[in-house]
Amino acid sequence: MKRGAVIFGGLALVFVALAFLVVQKETVLARGQPVLLRLAPVDPRSLIQGDYMVLDYAINQGWREGREQPQEDGNVVVRLDEHNVGEFVRYETPGTPLAPGEVRVRFRIRNSQMRLGAEAFFFQEGHAERYANARFGELRVMENGTSVLVGLRDENYQPLGSAIR
């Protein structure tokens, strides 16, 4: 009897945690501000793990511009242009207000690399050519910097499809 209650309680806890994560991501999708981030060149597909595109963002390549990468998780501040393309402004210092047109995007440092969250874009088998011209990752970003990848865009800012949700 006790064992069944423990198992049921554990399963209930897992389902509540999963439901919380789903609600959190759906909130970002519904209320987040659209931000486009320029993609850095990468190997476009991984044949080993199925049909998906490995993503790297130009903003992660700060070392090429002589910028030092931060050593701990935080936010990067980007300024949006007329197409909602975000360009690096600075790493956020806590307490520093954002200027008009600036947006914070949360990042994490993993394996000495800055990660914005979505490093892969999965698509239906056989549709690789549809995404070959991707130049921007389209994110929805909340005020606190939390983001979700919603799709890819071409050089003319046109959607190439939407992420599997």
| Assigned domain for 116 exists | yes
Q: Is 126 found in the same domain as 96?
A: yes
Query: Please, where are the H alpha helices in 32-91?
Result: none
> What are the phi and psi torsion angles at 50 (to 5°)?
105, -170
Instruction: Render pLDDT for 6-24 as a digit per residue (tens, 0 to 9).
Output: 888 888 888 888 888 777 7
Using CA atoms, how far apart are residues 155 and 146, in angstroms rounded to an integer? 25
Show the CA angle centred on residue 74, arms to residues 146 and 56, nearest 5°. Answer: 70
Find the domain containing 134 and state its range: 33-160
Q: Is 92 found in the same domain as 25?
A: no
Q: Is 141 found in the same domain as 77?
A: yes
Average pLDDT over residues 53-62: 80
Q: Is 18 found in the same domain as 52?
A: no
pLDDT over 80 at 51, yes or no: no
Q: What's the confidence (pLDDT) of residue 113?
A: 77
| Assigned domain for 165 exists | no
Q: Is 64 found in the same domain as 14?
A: no
Q: Is 73 found in the same domain as 17?
A: no
Q: Is 6 found in the same domain as 68?
A: no
Instruction: Render pLDDT for 81-129 as a digit per residue (tens, 0 to 9).
Output: 999 999 999 999 888 899 999 999 999 888 777 888 778 777 777 777 7
